[in-house]
Structure 1
């Protein structure tokens, strides 16, 4: 299962409709198609998906909330009760008698069929619990699709599943996707690293590949995990030094840099996603990393020899120079918060791909990408006057 587009309406923290398209919005030619994954082909067209999607904005613009929204939808489609999804707080603030609606478009492939599907979900809050109050699912065969506009047009497609009919068999916070997934034996393979944004502790259950540890710290000879009945011992050896045996992963903070720890976590998760296909979600990708390490990860996702199964990296960043890693504009979203969070695809703001993206961002050309001048002057004057 691959996500094509998410459109959320009436979210408490957002202004208007939050729309995230995972497919390229600009024309795809033979050269930049090499950085994408083919989704499916018809006699008249080939459809691709972006392998990297970036959300960029200043502090407090809402980037983390956007990633939580994506994670919430992924969990809902994977049959997780919406009250149990770790990122369900993105719906906090729904007032009584109000609802939030989601349109989720996704691609499904079984042995006998390739289809585009639309899940329409309406959620409310009752007695401080989230509840799905209505839901429908529509599907159409890819052979009926000629253009991208037609990809998202379900106006003449009959409904496959309706929650009104099947609700007696479901908990009120579980999506009707449970029936679709059971029939098609599908799910979304995803890992969100949101919990590691401010917590930096190694999370491995097996030996760290030598090539990976050497990439982040060439002074280390090996990092091995020796599993026993009730615990694991960590064996760490620096070159020309004696081996150290540690009992807890937290002890590694004394010997490994924060960048090495986060790097091992991030790249191990990425390797697993490469092997199986799916999604890796990271908040503040630049945290603890230098630019070259971040660029390496992005390039891996755009390299078909590395990313053989079309995995997708979804990340947020304050680091506008990262935008220059992308040849295109349509896998970059600009996030702003002006009386509510809004996101806009860069291809709609910056029509040309040849303009240096970091310079456009830093200059304020994109609007709302620089800290507000009045707030800057208030802070400066307060510091000068010793009032804070």
Structure 2
């Protein structure tokens, strides 16, 4: 196994836009594990998910949830400063609390952070207080004990750190920076690529990857710096490669699904090597359903996914949920009917039956708020009728 951190749970309190100011997202297998290959074993009966899906209709909060997940993972896995993180910080406010549970080597941890927010023109964020609790994995008597630290004194408290240590710690750096460091990169994201689809990789795409998405291509290469990139495309049975510095020309030659496929598979290869986390917004965009199945199957394959890498993705299409073998690794986002805040529901908590396809549950609106209402559809049809002479 790689020397990697495994996330167990992310929890936010006093967070903007979410119902009752709370957000909770578990990476653990909460249901019974009948097939161990579907999950990754950390310790005895403690397993983490290899796939986690977020489903919901438009504007239900899927991307917002992914951004909060990315923010928490960036603090822990990349030791990023709060104000440098690309996504999620816009939801934080003065007094927001972030609670992270994770395992590292033979220890389990709880990191509690209280966020502060200045009233300057930049509205900069900082860590007002932090507590770090730790126990051994061996001390866990049952799975429900894994998140229990109330009987433990903090191993470290930010406000009690020596002044010499605080002098080297920026206000927006978590104190976990000095505890866990020198880890291989283990967080990758395509949150901002749902609509913008340009080739991100440098070098040549392996033909084994390229031909899955487009069997007519012999070569797809990007070389040079970010400001001066040359793209080369070569089709089979055509000896003449096509080179251009114009990304739009390349996008006209190569399908958007092929480009997205290369971007995804580059990150998939990286995350499989480190046992890390890959976050993709709208996985199905630009791609055939069977290609989506191929990607999810890679993470479920214990021969390939040896280190428990986890793919976290959002989708509009309920049919993709039928690729998921478990129920506890599916989350539903919806808008609360009273205040329009975002609710995050775990599918397994809402649906007990196993004999109904997950897509049918979602599309039937069995979990209220997962499909457009009949009334709104009827109102649209009536409006269109009124506009047609």
Deviation of 1:129 after TM superposition, in Å, equals 1.6
Aligned equivalent of 2:27: 22
Q: What pairs up with 1:264-279 in 2 under 5 angstroms?
A: 264-279=262-277
Aligned equivalent of 1:198: 195
Aligned equivalent of 2:211: 214
Q: State the alpha-carbon separation in 2 of the partners of residues 226 and 13 from structure 1.
A: 42
Conserved in 2, the CA contact under 8 Å of 1:280 and 1:313?
Answer: yes
Q: State the alpha-carbon separation in 2 of the partners of residues 148 and 88 from structure 1.
A: 30
Aligned equivalent of 2:350: 349
Aligned equivalent of 2:116: 124
SS of equivalent to 2:204? coil
Q: Which runs of 5+ in 2 are unaligned?
A: none
Deviation of 1:353 after TM superposition, in Å, equals 2.6
SS of equivalent to 1:181? coil
Aligned equivalent of 2:232: 235
Conserved in 1, the CA contact under 8 Å of 2:112 and 2:131?
Answer: yes
Which shows bigger deviation, 291-300 or 364-373?
364-373
1:33 aligns with 2:48: no
Q: State the alpha-carbon separation in 1 of the partners of residues 88 and 363 from structure 2.
A: 33
Conserved in 2, the CA contact under 8 Å of 1:106 and 1:118?
Answer: yes
Q: What pairs up with 1:235-274 in 2 under 5 angstroms?
A: 235-241=232-238, 242-274=240-272
1:2 aligns with 2:6: yes
Q: State the alpha-carbon separation in 1 of the partners of residues 88 and 48 from structure 2.
A: 27
Conserved in 2, the CA contact under 8 Å of 1:69 and 1:90?
Answer: no
Deviation of 1:15 after TM superposition, in Å, equals 0.5
Aligned equivalent of 2:364: 363
Aligned equivalent of 1:380: 381
Conserved in 1, the CA contact under 8 Å of 2:83 and 2:89?
Answer: no
Deviation of 1:132 after TM superposition, in Å, equals 1.5
SS of equivalent to 1:385? helix
Deviation of 1:52 after TM superposition, in Å, equals 0.3
Conserved in 2, the CA contact under 8 Å of 1:330 and 1:346?
Answer: yes
Normalised to the residue count of structure 1, the TM-score between the two structures is 0.91
Deviation of 1:2 after TM superposition, in Å, equals 1.2
> CA RMSD of the aligned region, Å?
2.0
Residues 69-101 of structure 1: per-residue CA shift (max 9 Å, x gap): 000101122321111100134426x3xxx4211
Q: State the alpha-carbon separation in 1 of the partners of residues 186 and 223 from structure 2.
A: 28
Normalised to the residue count of structure 2, the TM-score between the two structures is 0.90
Would you say how many aligned residue pairs link Structure 1 and Structure 2? Answer: 371
Q: State the alpha-carbon separation in 2 of the partners of residues 275 and 189 from structure 1.
A: 9
Q: State the alpha-carbon separation in 2 of the partners of residues 48 and 56 from structure 1.
A: 23
Residues 156-182 of structure 1: per-residue CA shift (max 9 Å, x gap): 122011111137332221111112124
Q: Which runs of 5+ in 1 are unaligned?
A: none
For residue 318 of structure 2, the aligned residue among 317, 320, 325 is: 320
Deviation of 1:225 after TM superposition, in Å, equals 4.3
Aligned equivalent of 1:157: 152
